[in-house]
Amino acid sequence: MMTTQPFDEDHLGEECGIFGIFGNEDAAAHSVLGLHALQHRGQEAAGIVSFDGKEFHAYRSTGHVADHFSKESVITRLTGHAAIGHVRYSTTGGSGLRNVQPLFADLQFGGFALGHNGNLTNCYTLRDELTKRGAIFQSTTDSEIILHLMATHLRGNVVDRLVYALQQIEGAYSLVAIADNLLIGVRDPLGVRPLVLGKLGNAYILASETCALDIVGADYIRDIDAGEMVVIDKDGLRSMRPFGPTTQRFCVFEYIYFARPDSIMDGRSVYEARKKIGAELSREASIDADVVIPVPDSGVPAALGYAEESGIPFELGIIRNHYVGRTFIEPTDQIRNLGVKLKHNANRAKVQGKRVILVDDSIVRGTTSKKIVEMIRAAGATEVHMRISSPPTTYSCFYGIDTPERSKLLAAQHDVAEMAKIIGVDSLAFVSIDGLYRAMGHAARNADQPQYCDACFTGDYPTALTDQTGGGKVAQLSLLVTEKAS
């Protein structure tokens, strides 16, 4: 769910995790656990809305899940057998409490709470239309558009109205929602963002990733399909296909970086996928060296795969301090550079006098790689080679992975040889796009109908980008002014 970012306009999106449960008297406590497991998907804010059969109860806060939701006073307030939860990560600006999800609205049919992972690509355009018709927005999130579309569709029950709203929107969305004695889960027609279904006794659970099922001891039943809506009530689960037949374009970057390695996505272990990409990278870009070193933590499985395939020993040559935040959160380049040093230190004993292969999952701005390479050289490495377990990130994501605008993407501005110079390595290589698809179990990328959304590597966006090409910009500008003035 995207907000406008008035103070940091190079950032295009946010990352989120969602959780929902129906049919368990401790619904909120289970949601807190689920959100703990999904914390990697968003560290800026968290929220839960529960329903007790009569009333809805909400608690939303900025900060980590553990900062607020471990308190008994909070959990005991969130009574009920149904709940949804949300974690969110944005950069700076637009991060006020009014944007923290789940969103809640009292609509004609009653209360409705919504949690959204993904970004809409026609939100400014729709927002412009809605405000012209008199809609008063409470937040700057694109997700609120869904509530307004439901409110202004004057017919039908909650499901009919939600379907109507979803038929107007473009982009990526996995949603969880609760209404009077209902839990609803939806994936967009391309299934860009994940959503899985689990069961705990008689209770149904929906979550962004299976690691959130594991933490509450629930069984993984299946992934919600692309374009599927599930409606869960006391009589069980109903599956609907409101968009007709659809073709899946799941985000391949979830496998590369974003998801937790212990999650299973679309029946495939994220950890195994990362190892396979690392092995493919070793076959495509082998080099003689003494040691394979992962950039922690996200580079670890790919480095293991690379080491196994190449026969070069794997060592933890960089040690991570787990008690500092992600460098991405830092607002200026200067602080971001410092952040990398705060976060990592070279393990001199495994680096000195060695020809090192560093493995990481991606290069975005190049800040991390540059600092890591300096650090490894300072620790006495004789050669430093960098291997990246994704193709070059050359396009921004508009579907819910936080990326800077294109001009800030190193690979959009430089070829691989130039990047190697900037980063300061003896050699640099990325897995090829077909190598990535091979590692994922496909013969190659199907250019006519790609099996995944890989727009950040290819620029092949699977939905219209109406806000980028249409009149949405005007609405965006006025929104920035509004936000700054408030």
Task: For residue 361, say whether it is annotated as part of any ligand binding site.
Answer: yes
Which residue number, 280 or 402, has a Cβ lying nearer to ligand AMP? 402
CA–chain centroid gap for 90, Å, is 11
Least distance CB 63 / ligand AMP (angstroms): 18
Please, which of residues 22-81 interact with ligand AMP by CB under 6 A? Answer: none
Task: For residue 360, say whether it is annotated as part of any ligand binding site.
Answer: yes
Name the one range near ligand AMP by CB under 6 A: 75-83, 221-229, 354-362, 469-477: 354-362
Least distance CB 21 / ligand AMP (angstroms): 27
Q: Does 389 interact with ligand AMP (rule: CB under 6 A)?
A: no
What does the block give as tokens for 252?
Answer: 């391949």
Name the one range near ligand AMP by CB under 6 A: 189-197, 306-314, 362-370, 445-453: 362-370
On the CB side of 45, CA atoms within 13 Å amount to 23
Task: For residue 123, say whether it is annotated as part of any ligand binding site.
Answer: no
Cα dihedral 300→302→308→310 (10° resolution): -120
**Active-site residue 123, yes or no?**
no
Please, which of residues 364-383 interact with ligand AMP by CB under 6 A? Answer: 364-369
Least distance CB 258 / ligand AMP (angstroms): 7
Q: Please tell me the distance from the alpha carbon of residue 296 to that of residue 425, in angstroms, as a whole number.
A: 18
For residues 86 and 16, is the Cβ–Cβ distance under 8 A? yes
The structure tokens 């200067």 sit at 334
Please, which of residues 107-136 interact with ligand AMP by CB under 6 A? Answer: none
Name the one range near ligand AMP by CB under 6 A: 98-106, 395-403, 423-431, 475-483: 395-403
Least distance CB 396 / ligand AMP (angstroms): 11
Which residue number, 10 or 225, has a Cβ lying nearer to ligand AMP? 10
Please, which of residues 227-266 interact with ligand AMP by CB under 6 A? Answer: 257
Least distance CB 130 / ligand AMP (angstroms): 29
Name the one range near ligand AMP by CB under 6 A: 21-29, 227-235, 358-366, 443-451: 358-366
Task: For residue 453, say whether it is annotated as part of any ligand binding site.
Answer: yes
Site size for ligand AMP (CB under 6 A): 18
Q: Does 360 interact with ligand AMP (rule: CB under 6 A)?
A: yes
Which residue number, 161 or 274, has a Cβ lying nearer to ligand AMP? 274
Sign of CA dihedral 461, 466, 470, 471: negative
On the CB side of 418, CA atoms within 13 Å amount to 7
Name the one range near ligand AMP by CB under 6 A: 217-225, 262-270, 274-282, 360-368: 360-368
Could you write out the three-class secondary structure of the chain? Answer: CCECCCCCCCECCCEEEEEEEECCCEHHHHHHHHHHHCHHHCCCEEEEEEECCCCEEEEEEECCHHHHCCCHHHHHHCCECEEEEEEEECCCCCCCHHHCCCEEEEECCEEEEEEEECCECCHHHHHHHHHHCCCCCCCCECCHHHHHHHHHCCCCCHHHHHHHHHHHCCECCEEEEEECCEEEEEECCCCCCCCEEEEECCEEEEECCCHHHHHHCCEEEEECCCCCEEEEECCEEEEECCCCCCCCCEEHHHHHHHCCCCCEECCEEHHHHHHHHHHHHHHHCCCCCCEEEECCCCCHHHHHHHHHHHCCCECCCEEECCCCCCHHHCCCHHHHHHHHHHHEEECHHHCCCCEEEEEECCCCCCHHHHHHHHHHHHCCCCEEEEEECCCCCCCCCCCCCCCECHHHCHHHHCCHHHHHHHHCCCEEEECCHHHHHHHCCCCCCCCCCCCEECHHHHCCCCCCCHHHHCCHHHHHHHHHHHHHHC
Which of the following is catalytic: 12, 16, 35, 172?
Answer: 16
Q: Does 431 interact with ligand AMP (rule: CB under 6 A)?
A: no
Q: Please tell me the distance from the alpha carbon of residue 1 to that of residue 99, in angstroms, as a whole number.
A: 9
Name the one range near ligand AMP by CB under 6 A: 130-138, 194-202, 273-281, 399-407: 399-407
Please, which of residues 293-312 interact with ligand AMP by CB under 6 A? Answer: 295, 298
What does the block give as tokens for 148?
Answer: 């307004």
Task: For residue 298, say whether it is annotated as part of any ligand binding site.
Answer: yes
Q: Does 357 interact with ligand AMP (rule: CB under 6 A)?
A: no
Least distance CB 365 / ligand AMP (angstroms): 3
Least distance CB 338 / ligand AMP (angstroms): 13
Least distance CB 109 / ligand AMP (angstroms): 37
Q: Does 402 interact with ligand AMP (rule: CB under 6 A)?
A: yes
Least distance CB 370 / ligand AMP (angstroms): 8
For residues 275 and 305, is the Cβ–Cβ distance under 8 A? yes
Q: Does 362 interact with ligand AMP (rule: CB under 6 A)?
A: yes
Among 12, 27, 179, 401, binds ligand AMP (CB under 6 A): 401
Q: Does 326 interact with ligand AMP (rule: CB under 6 A)?
A: yes
Among 129, 223, 254, 361, binds ligand AMP (CB under 6 A): 361
What residues form the annotated binding site for [4Fe-4S] cluster?
251, 397, 453, 456
- Footprint on this chain of ligand AMP (rule: CB under 6 A): 257, 295, 298, 326, 328, 360-369, 401-403
What residues form the annotated binding site for Mg(2+)?
298, 360-361
- Please list the active-site residues: 16
What residues form the annotated binding site?
251, 298, 360-361, 397, 453, 456
